[in-house]
Amino acid sequence: MTAVAFPILLMLILVLTEMIIFNRQGRHVVDWHDVVFNLNSGHLMVWLFRGLEIAVYGLILNRFGTGFVSDWPVAVVWAIALIGWDFCFYWLHRLHHKFRILWAVHVVHHEGEHFNLSLAMRNSWYSSLASIPFFIPLALLGIPVEMFISVSVVHYGIQLMNHSALTPHLGFLEHILVTPTHHRIHHVADRAWSDSNYAGSFVIWDKLFNTYRPDLPEDDFNYGVKGASPSFNPAIASNIPVLRHLLNWNVSVAKPIPSYHANGVMVLVGTIVLFALVTGYVWLYGYGYADTSYSQLTRFALLAFGAIALGGISEGRLWALYGWHLTSAFLMLEALNSGASYAWLVGCLALIIHSLSLLAGIGRDRSVISPNAEDPMQ
């Protein structure tokens, strides 16, 4: 599954490269905990529902597809798929800002308060699930599943770069493609600006449907969502907005007093190793649900919980230290039991070393431990 695993690895490399450049230039103070959350927010849960999205697409294509484009030249079908996908995404994105049920999913992406490449990866667990209805027209036209996946990868790649804080003005391309110049306007913490510039890859849709805004606010502004109190725990960040907006529950989550402070770079190291294992998981299993094994289910559950534990470590939660160590230990036990590859075993070993280091106090400032909390190493 190189075609889907490689883009994940490339995205991680690009995100980290931009952050390193920020650090070297001293232009921005990098909040590594925020970067870690952005990387871990959707994680494997998005992957799970992405598989469901593709499965539903294939079902509709096979049962209800008209085959309208099946006899057309291949180049023409590719062009229709490329443009059609972006047209569908425009309406997906626009309606996610208009309806409570969809905004409850999309708001996780907008709660990010720093505009950079990692923000592109910040998503709700349910973002792919909420996307399913909007791409049905492509299935009805007869766009093959493989082509649908390929153009999706292309557009998501463009959307990743739309969040770059380092990309300069791109000249004439600004009139064709959505660039960071356009998209940073969409992330301003004011609905007068964020309810504009919905297009994903081609800026023509905003201009055609009168949702284009060319300039940032003249006064000082912030990115994010007004009144939001984002959690570094992806389970909380993805589910609380659903309860609040969809079920109209008055749910609020107070950030806990941290029991310790974990160094952001230390948490990032754990995230990189976890991401390497996620990439390996995608390489092995792809999007498919067929012939799902016990080993696959176990790895999925442990990797998903690992992302939650890292969020808890960013918030200084004691349970997360133990949870992170148990996750790494069980991953290693499963790997040994299933005869996993040497590369997978090395990744599991790296997680164990990382978790033991945190438990031992390496990369964890015990001087800021809450007086009411007990240090697990004391």
Same domain, 207 and 141: yes
Same domain, 89 and 177: yes
- C-alpha 9/C-alpha 20 separation (Å) is 17
Residue 335 lies in a domain: yes
Kindly report, residue by residue over 302-357, the tens digit of the pLDDT. 999 999 999 999 999 999 999 999 999 999 999 999 999 999 999 999 999 999 99
Mean pLDDT over each residue of the chain, to the nearest integer: 89
| Whether 199 contacts 177, CB under 8 Å | no
Same domain, 48 and 193: yes
Same domain, 51 and 117: yes
Kindly report, residue by residue over 23-43, the tens digit of the pLDDT. 888 767 788 899 999 999 877
Same domain, 314 and 182: no
Same domain, 207 and 164: yes
pLDDT of residue 24: 82
**C-alpha pair distances (Å), 346 with each of 118, 188, 199, 202, 353:** 26, 42, 41, 42, 11
**Alpha helices (H) along the chain:** 2-25, 32-40, 43-64, 74-96, 100-110, 117-120, 127-131, 136-141, 145-161, 180-186, 191-194, 204-208, 234-241, 264-285, 294-314, 318-338, 342-359
| Whether 359 contacts 260, CB under 8 Å | no
Kindly report, residue by residue over 42-73, the tens digit of the pLDDT. 777 887 888 889 999 999 999 999 989 988 99
Same domain, 101 and 234: yes
> Residue 356: how many CA atoms within 13 Å on its side-chain side?
7
Q: How many Cβ atoms sit within 10 Å of the Cβ of residue 10? A: 12
Same domain, 104 and 201: yes
DSSP classification of residue 240: H
Q: How many Cβ atoms sit within 10 Å of the Cβ of residue 290? A: 6
Same domain, 59 and 170: yes
Query: Is residue 21 packed enough to be buried (19+ CB in 10 Å), middle (13-18) or exposed (0-12)?
Result: middle
Residue 251 lies in a domain: no
Please tell me the total count of domains within the chain. 2
pLDDT at 14 over 70: yes
- C-alpha 147/C-alpha 137 separation (Å) is 14
pLDDT at 286 over 90: no
pLDDT of residue 242: 85
pLDDT at 281 over 50: yes
pLDDT of residue 370: 46
Same domain, 171 and 302: no
Would you say the pTM of this structure is higher than 0.85? yes
Residue 89 lies in a domain: yes
Query: Is residue 317 packed enough to be buried (19+ CB in 10 Å), middle (13-18) or exposed (0-12)?
Result: buried
Same domain, 178 and 242: yes
pLDDT of residue 349: 97
Chain centre to alpha carbon of residue 176: 26
Same domain, 209 and 85: yes
Kindly report, residue by residue over 229-270, the tens digit of the pLDDT. 668 899 999 998 888 777 777 666 666 788 899 999 999 999
Q: Distance between the two ends of the chain, CA-based, in angstroms?
A: 46
188 backbone dihedrals φ, ψ, rounded to 5°: -65, 140
Residue 3 lies in a domain: no
Domain carrying residue 241: 43-214+226-246
Kindly report, residue by residue over 291-312, the tens digit of the pLDDT. 788 999 999 999 999 999 999 9
Amino acid at 265: V
Residue 15 lies in a domain: no
Residue 169 lies in a domain: yes
Residue 1 lies in a domain: no
Residue 96 lies in a domain: yes
Task: Give the 3-state DSSP-derived string for 70-118, with helices as H, strands as E and coil as C.
Answer: CCCCHHHHHHHHHHHHHHHHHHHHHHHCCCHHHHHHHHHHHCCCCCCHH
